[in-house]
Amino acid sequence: MDERFHSFAAFLRRKFPGTRVRKIPIDAGFTCPNRDGTLGRDGCVFCDPFAAGPVATAGWTIERQVEVRLRRSPATSFIAYFQANCNTHAPQDELRRRYEAALGHPRVVGLAVATRPDALPAPALALLQEMSGRTWLSVELGLQSIHERSLAWLRRRHTYAQFVSAFAELRRRGIDVVVHLIVGIPGETRADMHATVAAMNDLRPAGVKFHLLHVLRGAELQARHERGELPLLARAEYVDIICGLLERLDPGIVVHRLAVDREAGLLIAPAWAQDKAAVLGDVDAEMRRRRSFQGRLARADAPRPAVDKRVPML
């Protein structure tokens, strides 16, 4: 297949040859320090009431969530994706119990654990390192942007320095890291987004996820959108920006996501983002029109735009 970027689907085919592998989104019942009062109670501005996790199976036991998906796809193996909330924000024995609940199924061949860079205490790191010696494991680390003003606008309540420290500790332990990035944060220029990609090239995570800034029902951004205070990217602009980011991204970094993947009942805007297949088709078509590919403009000596560390008053 003539792919213009290093896709997660292609990675899975190489990692698990002869086996179809898919991800099961899991709501393991964890909380988030940005919602439970540890850091705040209002959360990130983009987060919906389901905390990015599955809607239909929210509240089910982990075992039931896995078993239902296994029955629907009898010829498929799965990676259990601990997606909702912050999946290292609990005591080690509780983390172990929930991870083991998913790994207890023989057709679960790996774990993906989504978390925050400020929620990786030593016991959680030790457990993740142990798990990585038993199964394929990646930690999905929310960053969103290297720019402090953007992190403040998103109400992340962590810094880029905290991310770099957490990333380094995970890699020191041999754990693969997938970094989440948001495209279209108000106030960010293309140079700002290119700087974030340049920083990823320096760090060399195993993968990245590009998320379009979008509005979900129940998130704070919904109120801002309804008041007309939230500029959102048009489809053609997003495709153009994404292609520019792919061209600058090191070709060894796996691209796990390029389009919105949320239930239609939750997605409010932009409406065009609901057609994931069409967006991916547009990205592919634009990369072909440019006769381009991932990493075409990535050079070790490329100038790095300065990171703006100023934090605006909110």
Residue burial 55-87, b: 16+ Cβ < 10 Å; e: rest: eebeebebeebbeebbeeeeeebbbbbbbbbbb
For residue 51, being part of any structural domain is answered with yes
DSSP bridge partners of 76 = 20
CATH number, domain containing residue 121: 3.20.20.70
pLDDT of residue 139: 98
For residue 2, being part of any structural domain is answered with no
pLDDT confidence of 261, banded at 50, 70, 90?
A: confident
The contacts of residue 13 (CB under 8 Å, 6+ apart) are none
DSSP label of 290: T
Q: How far is CA 25 from CA 81, 110, 115, in A?
A: 5, 12, 14
Domain count for the chain, please give it: 1
Confirm if 126 and 92 have CB atoms less than 8 A apart: yes
pLDDT of residue 56: 82
Q: What is the pLDDT of residues 33-66, one digit of tens each?
A: 999 999 999 999 999 999 888 888 888 999 999 9
The Cα 34–Cα 28 span in angstroms is: 17
Residue 206 has pLDDT above 50, yes or no: yes
For residue 310, being part of any structural domain is answered with no
pLDDT of residue 115: 98
Percentage of the chain surpassing pLDDT 90?
Answer: 86
In degrees to the nearest 10, what's the CA dihedral of 36, 149, 189, 287? -40
For residue 304, being part of any structural domain is answered with no
The residue-averaged pLDDT of 213-220 equals 96
**Helix pair angle (235-248, 190-203), 10° resolution:** 30
Q: How far is CA 40 from CA 35, 152, 184, 193, 229, in A?
A: 5, 13, 24, 27, 23
Percentage of the chain surpassing pLDDT 70?
Answer: 95
For residue 302, being part of any structural domain is answered with no
For residue 111, being part of any structural domain is answered with yes
For residue 266, being part of any structural domain is answered with yes
The residue-averaged pLDDT of 177-204 equals 98
- What are φ and ψ of residue 134, in 5° steps? -105, -25
| Domain span holding position 159 | 8-289
Residue 311 has pLDDT above 50, yes or no: no
Mean pLDDT of all residues belonging to the chain: 93
